Chains A and B, each alone.
Chain A
Amino acid sequence: MLANAWIIPLLPLIAFVAIVFFTNRNQKLSSLISIGAVCLSFVISLFVIASVLKNPVASEFELTWVDLPGFKIKVGMLIDPLTAVMLFVVCTVSMLVHIYSVGYMAGDPRFSRFFSFLSLFTFSMLGLVIANNFLEIFIFWELVGLTSYLLIGFWFEKKIASDAGKKAFITTRTGDLGFIIGILILTTAAGTFNFKEMFHAVEAGHIPFGLLTVGAIFLFAGAVGKSAQFPLHVWLPDAMEGPTPVSALIHAATMVAAGVYLVARTITIYLAAENAALVVAIIGCFTAFLAASIALVQNDIKRVLAYSTISQLGYMIMVLGLGGFTAGSFHLYTHAFFKALLFLGAGSVIHAMHTNDIWDMGGLYRKMKITAITFIIASLSISGIFPLSGFWSKDEILAVASHYHNPIFLIVGVLVAGMTAFYMFRLCFVTFFGQPRDQEKFDHAHESPKVMTIPLMILAFLSIVAGWVGIPWLKHGYCSFVFHHEPHHVEPNFLLMIISTLVALSGIYLAYAMYYKGSISPEKLKAKFAFPYKVLYNKYYFDELYHAVIVNPLLKLCDFLFTKLDVGVVDWLVNGVGNFTVFLSDVKEWFDSRIVDGAVNGLAYVTKGIGSGLRRVQTGQLQNYAFVIFFGLVLIILFKLS
């Protein structure tokens, strides 16, 4: 089965091609093809995970792609437990989102195109996961970026959507800049693109430490871009302009996790380059806090979730930076399910209400029971409430952080856990409970069709149980499956579990008190902390800052270069040379006509004048001539004689 794992990404690709070229007109058939392909992939991925479980050794299959000195690429697959888990996650979420989209996108004129893009995305994401070398992962890395661009701007008539797509693509590409440089540094130093060969070289110490550190940090820039970490996090909230299933699939569960996956995949490098790993941990930690703090005050349901995603990704990045390979990948795995569920639930709400603003909602529990219940399950899971899956993964992260000598990571981790619980339940209470705030919209609200609610229920189930494979007491649990070098059992730390649960519960209680019971007035808090509120509400002014510092100066520079330098100087010089040549020939023409020609003509004129004087001598009278001859002769004779 493993040798044929390449079929998993291939099927969605075939679906994409088939839809684009053949079935574009037939919406139903298109969606069926797309769903069929991803379901098949899902089934195969189950077989893959089963056979990897049986024999958890990495296996590779290769095909020579380019063979040049210093650039020998064998494309292939690297299937190890991490890959298998990712395959399972991507296939599952993608399949459920595909099905959900049938309901969510119903009636859209570009229904088929939507599914073709989803298939293309699934293909790229699966390809990214099974890549066995840096070039291959980069190729798929860019392709997921492209599909993300296409899907964010799917409703491209809205300027804000196409702007968001563009912003996402360019921002992540800025990170990819570092990614490329990192690849160049590392592969040049190691002489190979292949992951395993690279890791061997790293572990054998063939790469100088300085190069390794610099390379690892540059590499991480790619992850920063894709996983929306500070300072490149600005694109993800805007990306919420895309259709909600896209946000769930791409901008919550899978693509944004690619950065985390990249760090996890290359964890050997970060373990060897401690300084780089520390940078990773700090960035992750900072982002987790930054994003969680912004999420506290946002009013757009999807934006809250987006900042929550950034924060959770920061969590994973942080723990990977601390060396927690198992913990990071485990949280990636559980997060995919509950965050996808949150987005799909939000999508269901938006589908019903046609608004994103939580202050237009309220009391929806009565109308949308399934959505509400699944949403709350996911919220509990992300808040880390026992025994939902989020609890186990978050606990593992905190356990790793607690082993680090500096407690800052642990403190921030716990703090963020509390903030997460607060903002998630702020969403829950405002959206689903209390009184309807917009009666008209409320009256039109209705539960979503089955095709949407069933994926919600499946995801809710997964949000509860997916984490159970990582229960620390389990003998053959997640830690003995996905690990680096050797399985390590994090000893269950009861104190930590209790603290984190208490913090989460107090966050939930605070949200309950503020937004359900009203015992603490949010308005008063807002007034009291006006300035911090404003800063948070405006997302620390990152967008404005970037526009003022980077975008506008860059555009001005381009304009300057074109109008002033290119047209103004370089082309001016070229034309100047031309014009100067023309000027020179004018001068020469003047000189020729006046001086040179003048001299020649002058000579002729003088000659002519003399001639016309002298011609009088020629009388035509032979006798005159003879007379002159005779007297000339006489004169000569006289001269001779004397």
Chain B
Amino acid sequence: MVGLNHYLVLSTILFCIGIFGVLTRRNAIGILMSIELMFNAVNINFVAFSKFVTPTDFVGQIFAIFVITIAAAEATVGLAIVLLIYRNFKGINVDNINIMKW
């Protein structure tokens, strides 16, 4: 029987992959994608907890839907920024984008 722990392990693995991606990718698009992975790990957690802890209501599911929506919006903004960065810096390698210091 697949229990809550399985879901949590999955989501942890997924989240860790996302973190790893965010911290190591040099491509801005890759970072965005890794962030999407982390969102999804969170969504799994929401749904799993909702299913196993409070099966009577659907708060977790509703939250997951919100997160997906926000994630879509965020991806849009993020891609727009990436596009602008691409135009200004002729590339999307984040190593070059270090003007946000001091």
Question: Do A615 and B23 have beta carbons less than 8 Å apart?
Answer: no
| A63 at interface by CB-CB < 8 Å | no
CB contacts under 8 Å to B, within A278-326, are: none
Identify the stretch in B5-13, B41-49, B91-99 within 8 Å (CB) of chain A at 4 or more residues: B91-99
Question: Do B98 and A623 have beta carbons less than 8 Å apart?
Answer: no
Interface size in chain B (residues, C-beta < 8 A): 14
CB contacts under 8 Å to B, within A588-619, are: 615, 618-619
Q: Please measure, in the bound complex, the distance between the C-alpha atom of A627 and the C-alpha atom of B5, giving whole angstroms.
A: 27
Contact with A along B64-102 (1 / 0, CB 8 A): 000000000000000000000000000000110111111
Question: Do B94 and A621 have beta carbons less than 8 Å apart?
Answer: yes
Question: Do B100 and A620 have beta carbons less than 8 Å apart?
Answer: yes
Question: Do B19 and A622 have beta carbons less than 8 Å apart?
Answer: no
| A630 at interface by CB-CB < 8 Å | yes
Question: Do A618 and B101 have beta carbons less than 8 Å apart?
Answer: yes
Contact of A622 among B24, B94, B102 (CB under 8 A): B94
Task: Decide yes or no: A626 and B22 within 8 Å by CB, A615-B102, A620-B101 being known contacts.
Answer: yes
> Which has the most chain B C-beta neighbours within 10 Å: A615, A622, A626, A630?
A622
Q: Please measure, in the bound complex, the distance between the C-alpha atom of A621 and the C-alpha atom of B22, giving whole angstroms.
A: 12
Q: Nearest Cβ distance between residue A622 and chain B, in whole angstroms?
A: 6
Q: Please measure, in the bound complex, the distance between the C-alpha atom of A585 and the C-alpha atom of B44, giving whole angstroms.
A: 76
Contact with A along B10-52 (1 / 0, CB 8 A): 0000000001001111000001000000000000000000000
Return chain B residues, CB-CB under 8 Å to A623.
22-25, 31, 94
User: Which residue of A has the minimal Cβ distance to B20?
Assistant: A630
Contact with B along A517-529 (1 / 0, CB 8 A): 0000000000000
Subset of 12 A-B contacts with CB under 8 Å:
A618-B101, A618-B102, A620-B98, A620-B99, A620-B100, A621-B94, A622-B100, A623-B22, A623-B23, A626-B22, A626-B23, A630-B19
Q: Nearest Cβ distance between residue A613 and chain B, in whole angstroms?
A: 13
8 smallest beta-carbon distances between A and B, as pairs = A620-B98, A620-B101, A618-B101, A620-B100, A627-B23, A615-B102, A623-B23, A621-B98
Query: Footprint of B on A, CB under 8 Å?
Result: 615, 618-623, 626-627, 630
User: Which residue of A has the minimal Cβ distance to B25?
Assistant: A623
A-B contact count (CB 8 A): 28
Q: Please measure, in the bound complex, the distance between the C-alpha atom of A622 and the C-alpha atom of B97, giving whole angstroms.
A: 9
Q: Please measure, in the bound complex, the distance between the C-alpha atom of A618 and the C-alpha atom of B101, giving whole angstroms.
A: 5
Return chain A residues, CB-CB under 8 Å to B24.
623
Q: Nearest Cβ distance between residue B25 and chain A, in whole angstroms?
A: 8
- List 11 extra interface pairs beyond A619-B98, A620-B99, CB under 8 A: A615-B101, A618-B101, A619-B101, A620-B97, A621-B95, A622-B94, A622-B97, A623-B23, A623-B31, A626-B23, A630-B23
Return chain A residues, CB-CB under 8 Å to B102.
615, 618
Return chain B residues, CB-CB under 8 Å to A619.
98, 101
Q: Please measure, in the bound complex, the distance between the C-alpha atom of A58 and the C-alpha atom of B99, giving whole angstroms.
A: 122
Return chain B residues, CB-CB under 8 Å to A627.
23
Return chain A residues, CB-CB under 8 Å to B99.
620
Return chain A residues, CB-CB under 8 Å to B25.
623
Q: Please measure, in the bound complex, the distance between the C-alpha atom of A621 and the C-alpha atom of B19, giving whole angstroms.
A: 16
Return chain B residues, CB-CB under 8 Å to A621.
94-95, 98
User: Which residue of B has the minimal Cβ distance to A615?
Assistant: B102
Q: Nearest Cβ distance between residue A137 and chain B, in whole angstroms?
A: 102
User: Which residue of A has the minimal Cβ distance to B100?
Assistant: A620
Q: Nearest Cβ distance between residue B88 and chain A, in whole angstroms?
A: 15
Q: Nearest Cβ distance between residue B51 and chain A, in whole angstroms?
A: 25
Q: Please measure, in the bound complex, the distance between the C-alpha atom of A485 and the C-alpha atom of B11, giving whole angstroms.
A: 149
Q: Please measure, in the bound complex, the distance between the C-alpha atom of A626 and the C-alpha atom of B25, giving whole angstroms.
A: 12
Q: Please measure, in the bound complex, the distance between the C-alpha atom of A627 and the C-alpha atom of B101, giving whole angstroms.
A: 16
Q: Nearest Cβ distance between residue B60 and chain A, in whole angstroms?
A: 22
Q: Please measure, in the bound complex, the distance between the C-alpha atom of A621 and the C-alpha atom of B100, giving whole angstroms.
A: 8
Return chain B residues, CB-CB under 8 Å to A618.
101-102
Q: Please measure, in the bound complex, the distance between the C-alpha atom of A31 and the C-alpha atom of B85, giving whole angstroms.
A: 122
Q: Please measure, in the bound complex, the distance between the C-alpha atom of A622 and the C-alpha atom of B27, giving whole angstroms.
A: 12
Q: Please measure, in the bound complex, the distance between the C-alpha atom of A309 and the C-alpha atom of B97, giving whole angstroms.
A: 125
Q: Please measure, in the bound complex, the distance between the C-alpha atom of A627 and the C-alpha atom of B24, giving whole angstroms.
A: 9
Q: Please measure, in the bound complex, the distance between the C-alpha atom of A630 and the C-alpha atom of B101, giving whole angstroms.
A: 19
Q: Please measure, in the bound complex, the distance between the C-alpha atom of A619 and the C-alpha atom of B25, giving whole angstroms.
A: 16
User: Which residue of A has the minimal Cβ distance to B98?
Assistant: A620
Return chain A residues, CB-CB under 8 Å to B94.
621-623
Q: Please measure, in the bound complex, the distance between the C-alpha atom of A432 and the C-alpha atom of B15, giving whole angstroms.
A: 155
Q: Nearest Cβ distance between residue B23 and chain A, in whole angstroms?
A: 5
Q: Please measure, in the bound complex, the distance between the C-alpha atom of A626 and the C-alpha atom of B28, giving whole angstroms.
A: 14
Return chain B residues, CB-CB under 8 Å to A622.
94, 97, 100
Q: Please measure, in the bound complex, the distance between the C-alpha atom of A623 and the C-alpha atom of B35, giving whole angstroms.
A: 12
Return chain A residues, CB-CB under 8 Å to B100.
620, 622
Q: Please measure, in the bound complex, the distance between the C-alpha atom of A615 and the C-alpha atom of B101, giving whole angstroms.
A: 8
User: Which residue of B has the minimal Cβ distance to A631?
Assistant: B23
Q: Nearest Cβ distance between residue B10 and chain A, in whole angstroms?
A: 20
Q: Nearest Cβ distance between residue A390 and chain B, in whole angstroms?
A: 124
Q: Please measure, in the bound complex, the distance between the C-alpha atom of A619 and the C-alpha atom of B100, giving whole angstroms.
A: 8
Q: Please measure, in the bound complex, the distance between the C-alpha atom of A620 and the C-alpha atom of B97, giving whole angstroms.
A: 7
Q: Nearest Cβ distance between residue B19 and chain A, in whole angstroms?
A: 6
User: Which residue of B has the minimal Cβ distance to A630?
Assistant: B19
Return chain A residues, CB-CB under 8 Å to B19.
630
Return chain A residues, CB-CB under 8 Å to B97.
620, 622
Q: Please measure, in the bound complex, the distance between the C-alpha atom of A584 and the C-alpha atom of B94, giving whole angstroms.
A: 62
Q: Please measure, in the bound complex, the distance between the C-alpha atom of A621 and the C-alpha atom of B31, giving whole angstroms.
A: 13
Q: Please measure, in the bound complex, the distance between the C-alpha atom of A542 and the C-alpha atom of B80, giving whole angstroms.
A: 123
Q: Please measure, in the bound complex, the distance between the C-alpha atom of A100 and the C-alpha atom of B22, giving whole angstroms.
A: 138
> Which has the most chain A C-beta neighbours within 10 Å: B22, B24, B25?
B22
Q: Nearest Cβ distance between residue B37 and chain A, in whole angstroms?
A: 14
Q: Nearest Cβ distance between residue A610 and chain B, in whole angstroms?
A: 14
Q: Nearest Cβ distance between residue A616 and chain B, in whole angstroms?
A: 10
Q: Please measure, in the bound complex, the distance between the C-alpha atom of A491 and the C-alpha atom of B4, giving whole angstroms.
A: 167
User: Which residue of B has the minimal Cβ distance to A611?
Assistant: B102
User: Which residue of A has the minimal Cβ distance to B95?
Assistant: A621
Q: Please measure, in the bound complex, the distance between the C-alpha atom of A178 and the C-alpha atom of B25, giving whole angstroms.
A: 119
Q: Please measure, in the bound complex, the distance between the C-alpha atom of A529 and the C-alpha atom of B8, giving whole angstroms.
A: 153
Q: Nearest Cβ distance between residue B83 and chain A, in whole angstroms?
A: 17
Q: Nearest Cβ distance between residue A569 and chain B, in whole angstroms?
A: 67
User: Which residue of B has the minimal Cβ distance to A625?
Assistant: B100
